[in-house]
Structure 1
């Protein structure tokens, strides 16, 4: 495996693509480690992550194994990373296994070097079964889906007394401000207005009309159903490759809190289902992409730890078709603004935001929602 020039990452479809962000180099790691004196001297660089929004690598030093992650400073600064690191420290203190952040010489959990921001994690316990699999691909077994639901509930239980406010308007955050609003179109206007690159990209498109159509078709009654949900810091990106596993198929460690912020438990649970119970990468080739049993396995595992009542279940299945909308807008903002890639922004708008929601209006999508609701409400 070529660890530099031949490195490829996941794209918006099935194919691997050239990375937006260059792979981390051996010399770069050596330089960064001088800012983390307790991490030791680099021995080898083992693996480059195929995840597309940052660069990351597993490394060995004479002090052990580490995970080094590099962000462009327009995406994450040390201050922005401190928000998620504080959340991770809180749930770790509550007994959850999450990566241990290494402190730099200046006492910070992240450093800035030129246009880059770096964070260093100690190697986390568990088997990385899904590390090369795309997002939006299912769990390998129903047992994994159920154990993922168990682990998500444990995370939510650990987070219940974390007092930090929601994160600032960083790119690529799984925020939740539009769907819970009394008027989601007004909330969407505010979301877009706060992100000039997103606004410029959308200005020649009928985006308000498209969102109004989707909200009317799929979002009726959401405001009333979500009004009583407790505010909670959540993960925001609960899919198989963000979980490490034990030999007997349980979740060992939860990783990658990059999208985390304050939302609510049902938002996070709906995202977990949306990420894993549908073969979205087959959309357009096969309409029957939803797996109700996989969705219910996640819910069943969750309810083993934190039971949901009838009203919660009703809100959950109604939230599911639109839960991706706000992060899809964040992806468009990232592609249009930070990356400057209008083609990828178009895919995020047409195929992701509209396409995923539109599927739920298809015969297959309506059938999925009916069967999921019947099982969830039974």
Structure 2
């Protein structure tokens, strides 16, 4: 019990918090590993992840080290995990370094036990330099940003042969149904209507008017720019703590494909910039004109362009998309907090702070300056 009490996870802000999902216990891990004969016999648990939306632990066994991850079935079912595992397997087949997904005795890539879904990955090569850093914190150096851009383009090249359809409806997935629509407000209405808990949460808010205002401020050519982009399965959560690194500062392994879905390359680039080049946790603290780092965005794009050249049209699409690229995932977070964990305060933060305030900053003078710097790359 003492170790459970000491385990804290990242919150929606800067503070560490008690976990929504309890840490995986040793006897629980042993019972799960019995379904994965390739893992061998457990010898100990050596780390618990601070990520908030699931529970994960590093398991040492007689056959090596493995990451065991547990999800509530309302977040991920075995079938839902199989969607992202198929993408991981495809990337591995093209030579991209991704964690090896371990199969059960029956050949499945995950197992359901009680209300939980479990997946097991062999510990991947590379240094976990950002393991304890928050998702919204930047790269340690511009060299890391450049290397991350190179790796992102390599993943996009590898993903071209993966033709699976878009994922089924899950919480916490970066789907892509609203922004490319000719009528994004109507698409947002359909998105919300299909999620009853989210609809109930938003029913007391002028949410359609708020979104309409953001869409009106966006580039009028955004939907046409997005319509020209080739569909592609993408990572959709490209930040440095989802990458393992070499001692020389290159990306060694890409992991955590929980948000992966069929979007396009421009969406993934914009997401990567939005995740890493703006210090969102400092927004509203009195220095909103100084939270952006265009040099990080430019370094990431320069690295990407070494593998896949970025045309003026693609750069324009990235710039046009950036203010709104977080909209759909923020809605998904609000759905998770209302439908799965009944955490209204975090749902409010997902809507007000992450969806509305992030987008509004991009339309402010410092946000517009940031976008202009990228557009001139």
Interval containing the TM-score (normalised by the shorter chain): over 0.9
What is the DSSP-based 3-state SS (H/G/I as helix, E as strand, rest coil) of the residue aligned with 2:335?
helix
State whether residues 56 and 68 of structure 1, in contact with CA within 8 Å, keep that contact through their aligned partners in structure 2: yes
State whether residues 24 and 55 of structure 1, in contact with CA within 8 Å, keep that contact through their aligned partners in structure 2: yes
* Residues 157-198 of structure 1: CA deviation (Å, up to 9, x unaligned): 000010100000111001111111111101111111111111
Aligned to 2:197: 197
Aligned to 1:364: 366
State whether residues 219 and 322 of structure 1, in contact with CA within 8 Å, keep that contact through their aligned partners in structure 2: no
State whether residues 3 and 48 of structure 1, in contact with CA within 8 Å, keep that contact through their aligned partners in structure 2: no
What is the DSSP-based 3-state SS (H/G/I as helix, E as strand, rest coil) of the residue aligned with 2:339?
helix
Aligned to 1:46: 46
Q: Which ranges in structure 2 are unaligned for 5 or more consecutive residues?
A: none
Aligned to 1:157: 157
Among residues 325, 330, 333, which one is paired with 2:332 in the alignment?
Answer: 330
Alpha-carbon distance in structure 2 between the residues aligned to 1:330 and 1:292: 27
User: Structure 1 residue 4: deviation in Å?
Assistant: 2.4
Aligned to 1:172: 172
Aligned to 1:187: 187
Q: After the TM superposition, which residues 17-32 of structure 1 pair with which residues of structure 2 at under 5 Å, given as runs?
A: 17-32=17-32
Aligned to 2:313: 311
Alpha-carbon distance in structure 2 between the residues aligned to 1:359 and 1:256: 28
Q: Which ranges in structure 1 are unaligned for 5 or more consecutive residues?
A: none
* Residues 82-104 of structure 1: CA deviation (Å, up to 9, x unaligned): 00000000010001000101111
Query: Are residues 1:84 and 2:84 paired?
Result: yes
Query: Are residues 1:262 and 2:262 paired?
Result: yes
Aligned to 2:221: 221
* Residues 296-320 of structure 1: CA deviation (Å, up to 9, x unaligned): 1111111100111111111111111
How many residue pairs were aligned?
374
**TM-score with structure 2 length normalisation?**
0.98
Aligned to 2:292: 290
What is the DSSP-based 3-state SS (H/G/I as helix, E as strand, rest coil) of the residue aligned with 2:278?
coil
Aligned to 1:94: 94
Q: After the TM superposition, which residues 243-258 of structure 1 pair with which residues of structure 2 at under 5 Å, given as runs?
A: 243-258=243-258
Alpha-carbon distance in structure 1 between the residues aligned to 2:363 and 2:312: 24
**TM-score with structure 1 length normalisation?**
0.98
Aligned to 1:111: 111
Alpha-carbon distance in structure 2 between the residues aligned to 1:182 and 1:279: 31
User: Structure 1 residue 221: deviation in Å?
Assistant: 1.4
Q: 4+ runs of 1 displaced by more than 3 Å?
A: none
What is the DSSP-based 3-state SS (H/G/I as helix, E as strand, rest coil) of the residue aligned with 1:339?
coil
* Residues 20-76 of structure 1: CA deviation (Å, up to 9, x unaligned): 000000111111111112211111100000000000001101111000000000000
